[in-house]
Amino acid sequence: MQPDTVLVTGGAGYIGSHVVAHLREAGERVVVLDNLSTGFPEAVLDAPLVVGDVGDAGLVRRILKDHDVGTVMHFAARTIVPESVSDPLRYYGNNTAASRTLLEECQHAGIRRLVFSSTAAVYGVPDGGRASEETPTSPINPYGSSKLMTEWMLRDLAASSPLQYVALRYFNVAGCDLRGRIGQCTPNATLLVKVAAEVAAGRRAQLMIYGTDYPTPDGTGVRDYIHVEDLAQAHADALAYLRAGGQSITLNCGYGHGYSVREVVDAMSRAHGRPIPVQEAPRRAGDPPVLVAECQRIRDVLGWSPRLDDLDVIARSSLAWELRDGVSHAA
């Protein structure tokens, strides 16, 4: 019988913790490795947690052996785009160099399956605002570049070893566990839905709308928002695909349509029961007018079928978490 424990790096963070909960509910054996720099131990729920760094080769080696790991899901990374611009070496260290260490230990241990948490930031500003998996990669910040470099390492390692992988390029992840157990507690968050929920919950005074003169229906930027629970299901589907002998592949994770900033504000206002305060500001450099996923491939290849493609559901679950004082509970 092959080893079948799933190692989840960064499993105490926002997305990783939702995937851990999803895997555990499906009966999977899971072990989490997280240095808790941005994650929270409470977010891991009932899975064993090892506190440490993905870049610690000896620690990774022991976990792979001691826990009989057969699959790795790699989330551990820094993810704040402005921070990556101001401190690029931190991102290349945490996201790229540490990933190389992890991959080397996976190779030595004979790990054959890996699911990688990548990002739509690898596309940069695609022509027409829509990105398919064939869209040229052209990241415009160190965060996107650091993730793309890991994709390249995965590609090359898979070509020279038995490893097979699924790289999932996330678009705008939002929402929280519908049962209220875990949520997003990123300090100084920049993701729109999270910030809007913080404003509605009184954690911030107002929401800034950066750019109201884009060539979009209401002048504000349009993005593809995917509920974190649907994203967790995509990881479970990727695991099943690899276990069934699936070949290495890169897949977009989105819904294939977008919402504007004003539409997100309106949805959060509906969830809140009254308008949330906003302030308009000039565009930010590098923000594309539209960024939406072409995402038929993930449905065709993995059989993925999202259940929560509803902006109001995303807004309500995000606000419910904020109103539970989520900072003290989980990621």
What are the catalytic residues? Answer: 143
- Beta strands (DSSP E) in the chain are 5-9, 30-34, 49-51, 69-74, 113-119, 130-131, 164-170, 172-174, 207-210, 222-223, 225-227, 249-253, 259-260, 278-281, 290-293
For residues 4-23, one letter each, b for 16 or more C-beta atoms within 10 angstroms of the residue's C-beta and e for the rest, the string is ebbbbbbbbbbbbbbbbbbb
One-letter amino acid at 45 equals: L
Written as one string, the DSSP assignment of 124-171 is: -S-GGGEE-TTSPP--SSHHHHHHHHHHHHHHHHHHHSS-EEEEEEE-
Provide, for the chain, the percentages of residues in helix, strand and coil under a 3-state DSSP scheme, each rounded to the nearest 5: 40, 20, 40
Q: Name 56's Cβ contacts closer than 8 Å, sequence gap at least 6.
A: 101
Return the structure tokens found at 301: 């290849």
Q: Are residues 273 and 315 in contact, defined by beta-carbon separation less than 8 angstroms?
A: no
In three-state secondary structure terms, 281 is: strand
At residue 116, the 3 state secondary structure works out as: strand
Cα torsion through 95, 243, 51, 12, rounded to 10: 80
Phi, psi dihedrals of residue 268, rounded to the nearest 5°: -70, -35
Those residues whose C-beta lies under 8 Å from the C-beta of residue 91, and which sit 6 or more positions away, are: 78, 83, 84, 142, 143, 146
Pick from 156, 150, 172, 141: nearest CA to 292: 172
CA distance 171 to 152: 19
